[in-house]
Amino acid sequence: MTSTDRLPDAAPTNWVDRHAPRALRPWLKLGRFDRPAGIWLLMLPGWQGIALACAMAGRWPDATLLLKFFLGAALMRAAGCAYNDIVDRDIDARVARTAARPVASGRISVKQAWAFVIGCSLVSLAILLTLGQLAFGLGVASCLLVAAYPFMKRITWWPQAWLGLTFNWGALMGFAAAAGELTLAPVLLYLGGVFWTLGYDTIYAIQDLEDDALVGVKSSTRRLGANVRRGVAVFYGISLALTLAAGFTAALTVFFLPLFALYGVHLVLQARRVRADQPAQALFLFKSNAWAGLVLFAAIAAGAYTL
């Protein structure tokens, strides 16, 4: 592997660059399989929705549903990233962090990338068909959010908010798949997730501040400017309030609270460590949200337990 093979925001030890056959690497990188944090961040709201529905019924999360949401998240994240790369290929080619992406660099053609998107989407559709009518309808509706996302950075300073609406849709789908209905609790969980994503993706965009300004791409990070640290703290505070309200609305047991408190501490520490002039730190903080989301999932699942 040469120094130019690895994309800037992929870990030096990522499995794609270390172990995958060279011919497959551009395809795996097109789907961001060398950067799995995004799979976790898309999957975990779905797991949390499943855990919430099961906790309200007094049982542990359904393992089969968890597996389906893991596979679906991995495939749809791959399809979404490839679609995003198709739409953004001209911008990506002008930004240092994204210039080496397979479509922007020409290693994969636009037609090949579209074939990748369609293939991943069809397999995801097969999984979606097994989740029940309501979850299926929600899954189809999410396509509108996914389709619009790449254009948000061109028309609004808050594309991170749109990503929040998109990435956390799984909370509604997971609850619907497990319970066959939607109530107030999963809606509150979803809204809490929207602000969580708004916070962590504002942190992520710190990496591109200079390049985004040069090419005219909008972001919440640019909009907040010197107040980015305070903005992240506000977003996380709103997220915690909404998520706690979801727990109380769902009548989760007291065992929800200790792990939820740990989740809250994690977000507070992130907000305190945000620095607009430290892109490497921003990437580290962003990736740590996979652990934060897993702690919240465990907190919700623990809320089913009674003495």
Would you say 275 and 209 are in contact if contact means Cβ atoms under 8 Å apart?
A: no
**Beta carbons within 8 Å of 71's beta carbon, 6+ residues apart:** 127
Q: Which amino acid is at 68?
A: K
State both tokens at 142.
């999410």
Q: DSSP character for 174?
A: H
Cα(168)–Cα(200) distance, rounded to whole angstroms?
13
pLDDT in tens, 248-281: 999 999 999 999 999 999 999 999 999 999 999 9
Q: Cα 122 from chain centroid?
A: 21
pLDDT of residue 205: 93
Q: Look at residues 257, 254, 258 and name the one whose alpha carbon lies nearest to residue 305.
A: 254
Q: Which of 139, 134, 102, 101 is nearest to 121 (CA)?
A: 139
Express each pLDDT in 147-174 by its tens digit.
Answer: 999 899 889 999 999 999 999 999 999 9
d(CA 172, CA 174) in angstroms, rounded, equals: 6
Note the pLDDT of residue 88: 87
Between CA 306 and CA 38 the distance in angstroms is 33
pLDDT of residue 3: 41
Quote the pTM value.
Answer: 0.89
- Residue 9 has a pLDDT of 59
Residue 277 φ then ψ, to 5°: -105, 15
Contacts of 257 (CB under 8 A, 6+ apart): 247, 299
What is the set of domains in the chain, with CATH numbers? 24-302 (1.10.357.140)
Q: Which residue positions in the chain have pLDDT lower than 70?
A: 1-12, 307
Structure tokens at 208: 């591109």
